Structure formats: C-alpha cells, structure tokens
Amino acid sequence: MDGFYGKAGTICNRTCKGAVKNNTAVLMVAFKKLKRGKYHFSVRMITEEGSRFSHEELTYMYKCRLEEVIREDPSNYLWSHRRWKHQWKPEYGEIFSFEN
C-alpha cells in the first residue's frame, strides 16, 4: 500500500474528478511562511489536460507532489489538520495504487 507517507489515510479527490470531467488543468499551490505575515507561494503544474488521466491517477500525482513539498521543508507543513485522525479499516474497501 502506498498511502500518504506510507501510512493509510484519506485525501479529497473531488477536484481531480472535476478536472477529468471538464478537462481542466490541475495545479498545486504550495505556501511557505517566510516570516510573520510574509508568505511565498509557488504553483506546480500537475497536468494541463485533466481528461488524459483517471481521477485516481490525478489524485495520486497530487499526493506525490504534496509529499515532495513536505520533504523540501517539513517544518513548514501544518500537521494540525490531523490527516490520520481516523484509522483506515479493511471494511472501507480497497485502496487504489499505481506504478510509478
């Protein structure tokens, strides 16, 4: 299982479903705090044509980019959102996975 940082969890895929349906670009915006009240943001293109992929593939690509951003500066990541608040249970069904 791939999961988020190797741990089962959930991630919202509604944006990716919309991108597939409407063939829109998928971007990831990352914010970095420079100092109090000052931030830098960067935009990373995931794809220009959402319909070229399934929503599962787009969600996976987004997750990989998010992990990249966190690895670049772990102290900047807001851990308080409690990604693992609820533990994944087998009865939830199979988690999709993709080859890199």
> Regarding predicted confidence, which is higher, 5 or 60?
60
Band of residue 100 on the pLDDT scale cut at 50, 70, 90:
very low
DSSP per-residue codes, 14-59: HHHHHHHHHT--EEEEEEEEEETTEEEEEEEEEES-GGGS-HHHHH
More confident: 87 or 44: 44
The CA distance from 10 to 81, in Å, is 12
- Residue 21 in this model has a pLDDT that exceeds 90: yes
Each residue's pLDDT tens digit, 52-83: 999 989 988 988 898 888 888 887 776 545 55
Q: Where are the domains of the chain?
A: 14-76
Residue 99 has pLDDT above 60, yes or no: no
